[in-house]
Amino acid sequence: MTKEEKVAYWLDLADYDIETAEGLYVVKRWLYVGFMCHQVIEKTLKSYWCKTQDDDPPYIHNLAQLSIRSGLYEQMSPEQQRTIAQLMPMNIEARYPEYKEQLLKRMTPEFCRQLIDDTKTLQQWIRNK
């Protein structure tokens, strides 16, 4: 794959995932709204990595590490950094039963709507970079 094809690959996946997050919101699958929002930012960060680095993105899911290692974190506003921090537990905690109950308590319709909106804003900011 060329560099451009890799960038497009990750962006296409991220676009699909944000549409999925919106669909999950409609059917009230709150836990998985958060998981998909995490996926959107992870894949968008990996597209940025492919655009700006000579190697493939690392096989990690840690949004803070991806943004730091790609050089984006220090360019983010405090609000964008908070979005990264909010999304971080959505990947791991959504997968393990012992965390699901605790995570679900935070996943209100209002919280999920804000999470989707913040994810879209951050996704667009990264794409513009």
The pLDDT value recorded for residue 9 is: 98
Q: How far apart are the first and last CA of the chain?
A: 21
Decide if pLDDT at 101 tops 90.
no
H or E element that contains 115 = helix 109-128
Query: 74 with 64: CB under 8 angstroms?
Result: no
44 is in which domain, residue-wise? 3-128
Higher pLDDT, 96 or 67: 67
CATH number for 64: 1.20.120.330
Provide the domain count of the chain. 1
Decide if pLDDT at 96 tops 90.
no
71: left (phi over 0), alpha (psi -120 to 50) or beta: left
Decide if pLDDT at 52 tops 80.
yes
107: left (phi over 0), alpha (psi -120 to 50) or beta: beta
